[in-house]
Amino acid sequence: MESKENIEIHEGLSGIYIDISSICKVDGINGKLYYRGYPIQVLAERSSFEEVCYLLLYGRLPKKQELDDFSEKLKKERSITDQTKQIITSLGRKAQALDVLRTVMSSISAYDETPYSSEESKNIEKAIRIISKTATMAAAIGRIKKGEQILEPDQSLGHAENFLFMLTGKKPDKDAAKLIDVMFILHAEHSSNASTFATLVTCSTLADIYAGVTAGVAALKGPLHGGADEAALKMMIEIGQPENTEKYIEDALAGKKKIMGFGHRVYKTYDPRARILKSYLDIVKNKSTEDIKRLIDISLRAEKMMIEKLGQSHGIWPNVDFFSGPLYMYLGIEPEMFDTVFASSRTVGWCSHVIEYWKNNKLFRPLEEYQGPLDVEYVGIEERN
Ligand code: CMC
């Protein structure tokens, strides 16, 4: 056994800075989030997903004409090929939605003659293609899952509302269009989270941006990251009635179970994105079915109890994934599609980080402290007992 002294192991890279970035600031102590310096509340209230994409990719807000041109470029990239539709159709019913998205995400590099580029402007063009087509692919996956026809984009609609239209087949009303746009904005970017880091690790090898976002989609899958909203909703459905909430949470915590949609590696207070989503519950509740009203009531009771039990004492507060479930349900998005919505929004964050990282690329290659035997004698297979 060989072991060096004074080696500090940073499990999960917790507390480690990997680079300097001007894209996103997560202030986990004060519960604040900024994209390129703009507070998330202001962007959610006054901006649009298209404008936020421009901001993240170019580093500044667009002028009117720039935004119009950018939105037009996104629209032009909405279509997907028949081959992509075929892959979605053949895998869609059986495989999980995010697995299908990961597969088609990988395949769209085939339609780019030079998938890798070292030029920033070319990579922004690729990012626009990825952002736009991901929404179309995700919506198509949702249609196939429900046994319905894949719909063509409606070019009169904005990016997020068109996604909702292509998924549900219904043109969203004003409130639903605003809500899906806000949900896309809130999920667009979040610094060096697991999926963004996976994207950066992949692209630090100078693999192309499609390879990077495919890794991002793969990393998003688990319940500790992109799967938490679906898991939180499933818990609310399992709770069933609002009056069961407190006992359910009590029992779960006593059994050392994690409550999905709570806790965060960086936020040790209320996630500002969760606050924004919570503010939509009232608007939505008035227009919801009884089932969704019940889920909203359960979510509010669970939130209250978790804050009392683990908020101040353990720094475990609601995160972006807690209130998302009932809101997605209201919008007609099925639980198995939640992580594909997350991926559709986060593509812009992944691409922005790759473009920034490539300005001063350094191959990621951390160390592991090996602890085990050395110079072990090899015994031929016929002599092993
Ligand atoms: N419910 C109950 N206990 C919790 C929770 C929770 N949601 N989260 C953390 N804890 C407890 C955990 O059991 C552990 O307790 P102990 O020290 O007694 O063993 C302690 O807090 C530390 O937990 P950890 O998992 O080591 O801490 P972390 O900094 O790695 O936590 C986390 C971050 C997101 C992995 C964790 O809070 C978690 O698993 N939450 C549930 C999943 C979730 O909601 N994920 C979405 C995160 S936000 C969206 C995104 O960025 O993807």
State the Cα–Cα distance between residues 305 and 285, nearest whole angstrom: 21
Query: Residue 262 has what DSSP assignment?
Result: B
| 265 CA to centre of ligand 1 in angstroms | 7
Given this model, what pLDDT does residue 2 score?
Answer: 42
Residues with Cβ within 8 Å of 273's Cβ and at least 6 positions away in sequence, in order, are 33, 40, 186, 187, 319, 320
Specify the residue with its C-alpha closest to ligand 1, atom 30.
265
pLDDT tens, residue order, the chain (385 aa): 444 678 999 999 999 999 999 999 999 999 999 999 999 999 999 999 999 999 999 999 999 999 999 999 999 999 999 999 999 999 988 999 999 999 999 999 999 999 999 999 999 999 999 999 999 999 999 999 999 999 999 999 999 999 999 999 999 999 999 999 999 999 999 999 999 999 999 999 999 999 999 999 999 999 899 999 999 999 999 999 999 999 999 999 999 999 999 999 999 999 999 999 999 999 999 999 999 999 999 999 999 999 999 999 999 999 999 999 999 999 999 999 999 999 999 999 999 999 999 999 999 999 999 999 999 999 999 999 8
Known active-site residue 321:
yes
Given this model, what pLDDT does residue 4 score?
Answer: 60
Q: Nearest CA to 322 among 163, 176, 186?
A: 186
Domain ranges for the chain: 25-361
Specify the residue with its C-alpha closest to ligand 1, atom 49.
225
Query: Residue 170 has what DSSP assignment?
Result: S
Catalytic residue among 187, 190, 264, 353: 264
Place of tokens 């998330």: 40
Given this model, what pLDDT does residue 6 score?
Answer: 82
SS3 state at 113: coil
Specify the residue with its C-alpha closest to ligand 1, atom 11.
258
SS3 state at 38: strand
Pairing mode of beta strands 24-27, 38-39: unpaired
**What tokens does 242 get?**
């609002």
> What's the predicted TM-score (pTM) here?
0.95
SS3 state at 27: strand
Is residue 326 within 8 Å of residue 299, measured between CB atoms? yes
CATH topology for 25-361 is Citrate Synthase; domain 1 (1.10.580)
Q: Nearest CA to 302 among 262, 273, 330?
A: 262
Known active-site residue 187:
no
Give the CA count within 13 Å in the CB-facing half-sphere of 312: 2
State the Cα–Cα distance between residues 183 and 94, nearest whole angstrom: 27
Residues with CB under 6 A from ligand 1: 190, 193, 224-226, 228, 258-265, 314, 316, 319-321
Best residue among 316, 323, 338, 341 to mutate for probing ligand 1, ranked by most atoms within 8 Å of CB: 316
Best residue among 193, 264, 312 to mutate for probing ligand 1, ranked by most atoms within 8 Å of CB: 264
